Amino acid sequence: MTGYQEKQGILHVENVPLPKIAQMAGTPCYVYSASSIRSQFSALKAALEKALPENRAPLLCYACKANSNIAILRLLQTLGSGLEIVSEGELFRGLEAGFRGEHIISTSFGKNPQEIQACLEAEILQFNIEAWIELEQVNQFAAMAGKTADVLFRLNPDISGGGHSKISTGRKEHKFGNSEAKIIEMYRRAAGMRHVRPVGISVHIGSQVTTVESFRPAYEALANLVKKLRSEKLPVERLDIGGGFPIAYEKKNALLDLDAFAQWVADIILPLNVDIQLEPGRYLVGNAGILLTETLYVKETDDRKFLVLDAAMNDLIRPALYEANHGIRPVVTHADRPAQKYDVVGPICESGDIFASQREMTEMRKGDLIAIESAGAYGFSMASNYNSRPFPAEVLVDGDHVAVIRKRQSLQDLIRGETIPEWLR
């Protein structure tokens, strides 16, 4: 994980020791390294720029479902990123963070009328369409607003991608995208509508796509479809080639060869003479974040030791939902302590509230701080209040700068908006 290193036995994020952050923000809390996000953004951009001509640089639209804190969005906006959104809430966050509509694309599934209207009002760059009704509604609301909206259609290439069944999106049985035949039909129909302008196609086969060869057939399917559409004189000027770029959660994880990936984009997409867009999420922020947590105690049963943390599955659902393996390391190294095997768990009343099973680490004691690694993507953004646990704080570190970018929820925050009806008072 770039941005994190041990200095004199203490884990630091950039120049700041993590115990200092625990003192300042409490635990559990999410901690993010700004320089790590910058370097991931530059690495992806540089690989693409190396393979593509200067005037054909793709628009990188950060998929903010990965981490939608407005400070993180602002950071990416200052780097020149665009934004991919999937809800009215994400649009709101993006605008608050300073993104202009012309750099925002909506890829939401099941667009609702209010969201469509908000996107039209913000004059976003495009709607990626999932279904007929979405197309009709965008046309209808654009007509009411006296506007014309650019639309792309999401292809379902029937290709398996994604590191887990729950984050694979490109197979026929998944709800996402449409067949080639259906897209051609939608495209024809859109071409006859007055308030939408069909401009292209999109594809996103899944997340954490470690089988890197999966991208190639998906892009080839896009290229085939472009040719078919053009043969009917239907204009294709933009291709959104999705996200899904993996990060290493474990050392053994295969990683995408960015240069090879960029070369495929150059070989397959570039000759189509279209504007290219990408939607990276996890890749930009995943390894920039940790979940900082404190050991509540160690519980020993007849056959195992449970390391009980003050963070739980409501703070980080990935192990429970995706069977994800996150690195778990002590913040302070105690070379004098023996190794132990722990089931690392949180305080929630679910057996599924487990971060790791039989994980070997140095002996931990009450009060010891622990970093759960690679938690910058789909960490806080998937957190819940289950068991009435307040959302943790979020902290951004940039060199020597440290800021709480979201304060911990209070108990009052937990019941905000709830009322006891009059007849029960």
Ligand X SMILES: Cc1ncc(COP(=O)(O)O)c(C=O)c1O
Q: Which of 107, 126, 210, 381 binds ligand X (CB under 6 A)?
A: 107
Q: Which residue, 193 or 320, has its beta carbon nearer to ligand X?
A: 320
Q: Which residue, 28 or 281, has its beta carbon nearer to ligand X?
A: 281
Name the burial class of residue 347, with classes exposed (0-12), middle (13-18) and buried (19+) by CB atoms within 10 angstroms of its CB.
middle
- Scan residues 303-332 and list those touching ligand X (CB under 6 A): none
For residues 234 and 205, give the distance between their C-alpha atoms in angstroms, rounded to a whole number: 24
Q: Which of 215, 249, 264, 283 binds ligand X (CB under 6 A)?
A: 283
Q: Which residue, 164 or 407, has its beta carbon nearer to ligand X?
A: 164
Stretch that binds ligand X, among 62-70, 177-185, 385-393, 406-414 (CB under 6 A): 62-70
The answer to whether 150 and 197 are in contact (CB under 8 A) is: yes
Stretch that binds ligand X, among 29-37, 93-101, 276-284, 389-397 (CB under 6 A): 276-284
For residues 242 and 261, give the distance between their C-alpha atoms in angstroms, rounded to a whole number: 13
* C-alpha of 390 from chain center: 22
For residues 177 and 156, give the distance between their C-alpha atoms in angstroms, rounded to a whole number: 4
Stretch that binds ligand X, among 10-18, 273-281, 357-365, 395-403 (CB under 6 A): 273-281
- Scan residues 67-96 and list those touching ligand X (CB under 6 A): 84
Q: Which of 243, 327, 330, 346 binds ligand X (CB under 6 A)?
A: 243
Residues 144, 145, 149, 154, Cα dihedral to 10° = -60
Is 111 a binding residue for ligand X by CB under 6 A? The answer is no
Strand partners, 201: 153, 239
Q: What token pair was written down for 233?
A: 């004189």
Name the burial class of residue 324, with classes exposed (0-12), middle (13-18) and buried (19+) by CB atoms within 10 angstroms of its CB.
buried
Q: How many residues bind ligand X (CB under 6 A)?
A: 17
For residues 113 and 121, give the distance between their C-alpha atoms in angstroms, rounded to a whole number: 12
Stretch that binds ligand X, among 41-49, 238-246, 394-402, 415-423 (CB under 6 A): 238-246
Question: CB of 368: closest distance to ligand X in angstroms?
Answer: 32
For residues 389 and 253, give the distance between their C-alpha atoms in angstroms, rounded to a whole number: 32
346: three-class secondary structure by DSSP: coil
Is 244 a binding residue for ligand X by CB under 6 A? The answer is yes
For residues 319 and 313, give the distance between their C-alpha atoms in angstroms, rounded to a whole number: 8
Is 279 a binding residue for ligand X by CB under 6 A? The answer is yes
Q: Which of 3, 94, 281, 346 binds ligand X (CB under 6 A)?
A: 281
Active-site residue (options: 29, 64, 119, 349)? 349
Is 161 a binding residue for ligand X by CB under 6 A? The answer is no
Q: Which of 141, 245, 249, 322 binds ligand X (CB under 6 A)?
A: 245
Positive or negative CA dihedral for 309, 394, 321, 377?
A: negative
x/- letters, 176..205, toward ligand X (CB under 6 A): ----------------------------x-
Is 282 a binding residue for ligand X by CB under 6 A? The answer is yes
For residues 142 and 117, give the distance between their C-alpha atoms in angstroms, rounded to a whole number: 8
Largest CA distance in the chain: 74
Is 12 a binding residue for ligand X by CB under 6 A? The answer is no
The answer to whether 26 and 243 are in contact (CB under 8 A) is: no
Q: Which residue, 58 or 244, has its beta carbon nearer to ligand X?
A: 244
Q: Is residue 64 annotated as a catalytic residue, yes or no?
A: no
Binding site for ligand X (CB under 6 A): 63, 65-66, 84, 107, 204, 207-208, 242-245, 279-283
Residues designated catalytic? 349
